[in-house]
Amino acid sequence: MRFNYSIVALFIALVSCGGDEKPEELLSEDKMVEILVDIHLAEGFVQSLSIPYDSSKVLYPVLEKQIFEKHGIADTVYINSLEHYLLDAAKMEYLYERTIDSLTLREKIVQ
């Protein structure tokens, strides 16, 4: 599985100007990793389909909404938590290491 580090770098650049306030509803590190795993699986699924780009732009938000419903959170809670964790590059790197480890383990189980 490939991961686009430029997306994370973009997020870091966008939120680095924000304050260091903790969001009212901050997802735990474990929950954040669970959601990141599901999001990357959904992205991989959409990319693997032989559908036009416009169609994938419609499908992905539907899958993303299902992920948030599965985890019982609002999209704003995820976004605010992501922005909070992105302010600490070391923490975000740790969360993505865990995410990649989880995805790698899933891949080994499937094989």
Share in percent of the chain as helix, strand, coil (round to 5): 75, 0, 25
Question: pLDDT higher for 85 or 11?
Answer: 85
How far apart (Å, rounded) are the C-alpha atoms in residues 91 and 70?
25
Q: Is residue 42 within 8 Å of 64, Cβ to Cβ?
A: yes
pLDDT digits (tens, 9 = 90+) for 19-47: 567 888 999 999 999 999 999 999 999 99
* Residues 111, 74: Cα–Cα separation, whole Å: 33
* Largest Cα–Cα separation, the chain: 44
pLDDT at 11: 55
Euclidean distance between CA atoms 40 and 92, whole angstroms: 15
Which tokens in the block code for residue 32?
A: 């954040």
pLDDT in tens, 46-100: 999 999 989 999 999 999 999 999 999 999 999 999 999 999 999 999 999 999 9
More confident residue, 86 or 11: 86
- The whole-number average pLDDT for the span 96-109 is 94
